Amino acid sequence: MDSFSSPSRSSSGSTPNPEVVMEQIKEQLAQAYAQEFLETVGTKCFDKCVTKPGSSLSGSEGSCISRCVDRYIEATGIVSRALFSAGPQR
Amino acid sequence: MDNADMQRFLQQEQQKAMMGEMVGKLTSVCWDKCITGTPGSKFTSGESTCLTNCAQRFLDMTMIIAKRFEMQ
């Protein structure tokens, strides 16, 4: 990749370095993705594991939640493979 | 790094985002359909097969719907 050829800069503000912009875009997308993922997992696992909210989260609810999160991550992998690789079950 | 490079980068990122969104949406739909009990420490083979089938059938359905609208 060639760097910026023109060394001149406008006085009103430096031209943003495209590499930096690209990094920022990637970072923000990753962050948005993570946030959405967390939100979804939270909703799904709350549905599954906290069926009758008590005065505190019980131990069994807690372990259900951690299993649920693991399974949800696994499910995401399974779905992704089913979509993007010509799976053996096709 | 020129404009075309940036354009290409943006297109790639957009495509990745679309795929990610699709995976996320399908995971949500198929999770609801396939995981009926409380999540265990491992998926049963029935559950993981259901997830795979669910995702692939959703694709089939998308094709059918697309064709249906092409015919008009």
CA atoms within 13 A on the CB side of B37: 8
Does the domain formed by B3-70 have CATH 3.40.190.10?
A: no
Boundaries of every domain in chain A:
60-90
Block means of pLDDT (10 residues each) for chain A, 90 residues, are 50 73 93 95 96 94 97 97 70
CB contact under 8 A, B51 and A82: yes
The answer, as to whether pTM is greater than 0.90, is no
Q: Is A10 on the interface with B (CB under 8 A)?
A: no
Return the residue in B51, B59, B60, B63 with the most chain A beta carbons within 10 A, the one to mutate for interface testing. B51
Question: Is there a contact between B39 and A71 (Cβ–Cβ < 8 Å)?
Answer: yes
ipTM: 0.89
Residue B1 tokens, joined: 């790094």
